[in-house]
Amino acid sequence: MKRTFLFGKVHRVTVTGADLEYEGSLTLDAELMEAAHFLPYQRIEVYDVTRGTRFATYLIEGPPGAGDCCVNGAAAHLVDVGDKVIIAAYCDLEDHEIAGHRPRIVLVGESNRPYEIKDAETAFAKVAAR
C-alpha cells in the first residue's frame, strides 16, 4: 500500500505575476525549484496564505535568480500580485520507505530568496516574516 506524504514545499513565496492569457501552470524561479528539488511540469498544490484560496497546477521553470512566482491561466483569478503563497508537492511512498523520508522545506524571504532549507517541521513552529 502507498501513502501520500509531503515531498517538499516553498514557504511564503511572494506572487510576482498573474497572467490570465497563459495556458496554465505556475512559473517559479529555477533556483527555488532546485532548492525544493522540484522539477518542471511537476504537479503542485498552491495555498494562498493572504487570500485563503487553494489550487493545483504544475511548474514551469523561470529564470534563475529572478525571483519569479507567476500564476498563469485560470488560477490567476485566485491570487493577487504580492500575495504570500505556499507551493507544495507530494509523493507516494511504500510503507518501507516512510521511516527514511524527509521533505525538503524551503523558507523564503525578501525578493523570493531562500534563507533556510530544512527537512522537518515541528508542531506550532512559526516563521518570522522577512
Confidence of residue 124 (pLDDT cuts 50, 70, 90): confident
pLDDT tens track for 74-93? 999 999 999 999 999 999 99
CA distance 110 to 51: 20
Based on the residue annotation, tell me whether 25 is a catalytic residue of this protein: yes
Q: What's the confidence (pLDDT) of residue 123?
A: 82
Q: Which residues pair with 118 in a beta bridge?
A: 105
pLDDT at 126: 76
Q: Active-site residue among 22, 41, 58, 115?
A: 58
Catalytic pick among 22, 25, 41, 111: 25
From 114, 45, 37, 120, select the one nearest 86 (Cα to Cα).
45
Q: Please tell me the predicted confidence (pLDDT) of residue 56.
A: 97
Give the strand pairing for 2-14 and 104-108.
parallel
> What residues are paired with 109 via a beta bridge?
none
Q: What is the mean pLDDT of residues 95-101?
A: 96
Indicate the CATH number for domain 2-118: 2.40.40.20
pTM of this structure: 0.94
What pLDDT was estimated at residue 129? 62
Q: How many CB atoms lie within 10 A of CB 125?
A: 8
Domain boundaries, the chain: 2-118
